Amino acid sequence: MRQFSSPSDGLLGSLSGASDVDLELGDTALLRALLDAEAALVRAAADAGVLPTTAADAIVEQCRAERYDTASLGRAADASGNPVVPLVRELTAAVPEHARGWVHVGATSQDILDSALSLVAVRALGPLLRHLDAAVEAAARLADTHRDTVLVARTLGQQAAPTTFGLKAAGWLTGLVDARDRLREAGAAQPAQLGGAVGTLAAFGPAGPAVAERFAAHLGLPVSPLPWHTRRQPRLDLAAALGGLLAATGKVALDVGLLAQTEIGEVAEGGAGRGGSSAMPHKNNPVDSVLVGSAARRGPGLVATLFAAAVQEHERAAGGWHAEWEPLLDLLHLTGGAASRCARMLAELQVRPERMRRNLDATGGLVLAEAVAARLAPAVGRDAAHELVSRAAAAPSFRAALLADPQIRAHLSEAEVDEALDPYRWLGSAGLFVDSALAAVRGPQT
């Protein structure tokens, strides 16, 4: 069977990931990051005068992913519990005799794998955040275009009161921006790891801190004040940020899927050739909504695994650390796919204002009951106004019942009743909230 080089390969992987993100997550990408860490280690040690520069150069020369076979390394990893041990063995065999004693100098397997996973995460976040930027911009366009497009808000699954589609899109926008900010922060804080066998860097003597600093610099990662072998907060921050983004994209997907239901029909996913059914020729399924929602449902379990694994023994974990690797990569894979599909879904979304207005009017003005009660309350009191309007709402025609009730007509004219039943007069600060959300993303408009 062919070895998959990225999570997007295979029959199912392409349904949950994004190819450009997954290129940074596959076996080849992880192997490249492991070798980058080994190369940075010997460069840092040479910088600190711990080993000869000629040895470092010889080792770096062999730190090329194409020289090694990921499948054989994966099989060999079973004997030691991680892939670094067989990789170090093959790397040592590949370098000249004079440099072999310096391969993997002063490090432990966790140093290399933790640093490699930090690199993998940072590299994958590049294309992932580009997809997220596109989703943010698409949500902003929807909010701007439909700032005053009225539709009915729904609470507890029921029609509630008027709002605007622009405000709904602004809510999506704000959720995506908040998640993006947290993910950028967590990604930028993924540190290099170098502590040696028990976190003392004893093998480097007094040069230990200098080597650790140079190691991080060569990798382009933050340096940690001390090794974090069993202090897993950087990974928890990243896991939480990835889970938060899945929740933000999942919210968009859920709303789109509900609004696209046949009976609602207020939006539809675009994209030629997408959404077909194997059995029903008439179907136009909201595929991106479904797939983003699927990712959002898988995310919490992976985040929980990272948090459960974070309570680790003494100086080095027995299983907790090992439990992190695949869930972290799976989270990055799912989040990349969710961000990519969310961007496409929002960019191609078909919005149907006329259907929104028809659905809002379907109850004959009942969604404006709060507005009528608010007009009555100054004259009869809040509780009495609520009771009068509730009684009218039970009649076959809400407007007719309002106009026929002498207690209501004593305080509201027909024109005032009709004004209260105008959805555009009961939007509150919806437009201002949209403007605020857009200004937060685009800056104030002149």
Contact assessment for residue 102 and residue 59, using Cβ atoms and an 8 Å cutoff: yes
Active site residue 277: yes
Q: Which residues contact 50 (CB under 8 A, 6 or more apart)?
A: 105, 106, 204, 207, 211
Active site residue 391: no
Rounded distance, CA 90 to CA 54, Å? Answer: 19
3-state secondary structure 274-312: CCCCCCCCCCCCCHHHHHHHHHHHHHHHHHHHHHHCCCC
Question: Can you give the length of the chain in residues?
Answer: 446
* Three-class DSSP category at 157: coil
The amino acid sitting at 422 is: D
| Active-site residue identified among 43, 316, 352, 399 | 316
Contact assessment for residue 224 and residue 201, using Cβ atoms and an 8 Å cutoff: no
User: DSSP strand E in 200-347: where?
Assistant: 267-268
Rounded distance, CA 419 to CA 39, Å? Answer: 73
Rounded distance, CA 108 to CA 110, Å? Answer: 5
DSSP symbol at 397: -
| Active-site residue identified among 64, 67, 80, 277 | 277
| Rounded to 5°, angle at Cα 337 from 331 and 339 | 95
The amino acid sitting at 185 is: E
Please give the positions annotated as active site.
277, 316
